Amino acid sequence: MTEKIKQTLRDSSVARWTALVLIALMMFFAYMFVDVMSPLQTLIESSRGWTPGAFGTYAASEYLLNVCGFLILAGIILDKCGIRFTGTLSASLMVVGAAIKFIAVSDMFQTTAFCQWLNSFWPALPGTAKLACLGFMVFGCGCEMAGITVSRAIAKWFAGKEMALAMGLEMAIARLGVFAVFSLSPFLSRKFADAAGDSIVAPLAFCTVLLIIGLINFIVFSFMDAKLDRQLGEGAAAAAEDEQFKFSDLRYIFGSKMFWLIALLCVLYYSAIFPFQRYATNFLESTLCIPNDEAAAIFRWFPILAMILTPVLGSFIDHKGKGASMLMYGALIMIACHLSFAFLLPAFPSKFLAYLITVILGVSFSLVPAALWPSVPKVIDGKILGSAYALIFWIQNIGLCFVPKIIGNVLNATNPGVAEARAHALEMGEALPAYNYTVPMIIFASFGVAAFLLGIWLKREDVVKGYGLELPNIRK
């Protein structure tokens, strides 16, 4: 008599895709909060006295605690305590960090004794920026911890199924948050303007509420995940106990050449994407001599093709493979786009050209992540997968922490006197002098060159060792 095959929640397409939507929406709200202030750089300069250096320090602060070791701890917590505990903790940290940042930029905080005390040391960074950095650091810990937890959750729920498609859809939904916030942030800022000018707190308040909804979403997912574990039964629990995480297992990660190739490619690629997002609105504003809201309206289209193509490419990888090749193509497209921003757009300052380059950059942003994250389970054992994702995110965060600050300093150094002239122009109500972004764009392009070379090396290693990066994910 043939034994009946036991069905679990993840064998139900409705259940596993519902689980994906719940955790993807949490990341959608997180991505909105990450960039909620990116379209408001000029407003922050005028109303809070921030310079490009201060804005760069604020942008870098999201990753500071992660770089100092929190992400490594997060990976260990994930492997030791599981998806449900780690995800709930990460969502809670995002809410707490968002609340601190909201208080920091509120109009009331500027007049408090605490803000004046914060102003008294390190005068180059205003007190509002210091507290905003603290809030962004706490939020960043939660956001990056959530990222590795979601990756681990998808690997669990879609094992042997549409894993790359699921990861692609999760990234697409998350990137919709970038599109949404570059539209909503300037709109809400104008909608809730008062006598003092456009509002900074309104977009932040809105996104903070969304993060609370994201926390609720993950709690609902946790009930589904607990039911899945019960359905997997005692056999799965015994196997998990035999393969329980040990600290000594980390040597298998650090000793893996493929891990280092993937991690270094990741940090180089993302260092040319996320820090650029922080400055993109001001770059377009300066290069095209257009208002802030028009510049934000152009850059909001950056994730559109990435949003559409990432799930398609994920499905292609699931069925056809070619993941290592996609990493190389994505780096090449990114190099071309940043060099076009450096030289072509300033020479031919056209809105149409800006739209075109921005959207094509989104193609690169679909190729690389769609291939990168599903590749990790192919080279790292499942019981230390959470730590592997955490270490990759940690290495990535090193770049994301320091690159925005480097770009801010380079922008100041290559535009002597412009920050002071802008401050004076804001006081006088005159047109703002523009920054020249040529050198920062060349720096971003150089990251792409290094990522492309690592992509070639990665593909060669896969051919020699047979990890299967070019093979499809779905097992037949």
Q: How far apart are CA 146 and CA 410, in angstroms?
A: 32
Closest CA to 319 of 114, 129, 471: 471
Q: How far apart are CA 169 and CA 175, in angstroms?
A: 10
**Both tokens of residue 454?**
């690592």
Q: What is the pLDDT of residue 92?
A: 96
Q: How far apart are CA 252 and CA 249, in angstroms?
A: 6
How many CA atoms within 13 Å lie on the side-chain side of 249? 17
Q: What is the pLDDT of residue 292?
A: 77
Tell me the longest C-alpha to C-alpha distance in the chain. Answer: 88
Q: How would you class 416 by CB atoms within 10 Å of its CB: exposed for 0-12, middle for 13-18, buried for 19 or more? A: exposed
Q: What is the pLDDT of residue 246?
A: 58
Q: How would you class 29 by CB atoms within 10 Å of its CB: exposed for 0-12, middle for 13-18, buried for 19 or more? A: buried
Distances (CA, A) of 280 to 42, 285, 376, 404: 12, 8, 30, 12
Q: How far apart are CA 282 and CA 276, in angstroms?
A: 10
User: How many beta carbons lie within 10 A of that of residue 115, not counting itself?
Assistant: 18
Q: What is the pLDDT of residue 422?
A: 74
Q: What is the pLDDT of residue 101?
A: 93
Do 317 and 472 meet the contact criterion of CB atoms below 8 Å apart?
yes
C-alpha angle 382/22/394, rounded to 5°?
Answer: 45
Q: What is the pLDDT of residue 476?
A: 58
Residue 147, φ and ψ in degrees, nearest 5: -60, -45
pLDDT along the chain (476 residues), means of 10: 58 88 94 88 79 81 85 83 92 96 87 84 82 93 90 84 80 83 87 76 93 96 90 54 55 83 91 88 90 84 78 79 86 95 95 94 85 80 74 84 86 84 72 87 96 93 84 69
Q: How far apart are CA 46 and CA 422, in angstroms?
A: 9
Q: What is the pLDDT of residue 235?
A: 42
Domains and CATH numbers, the chain: 13-230+250-465 (1.20.1250.20)
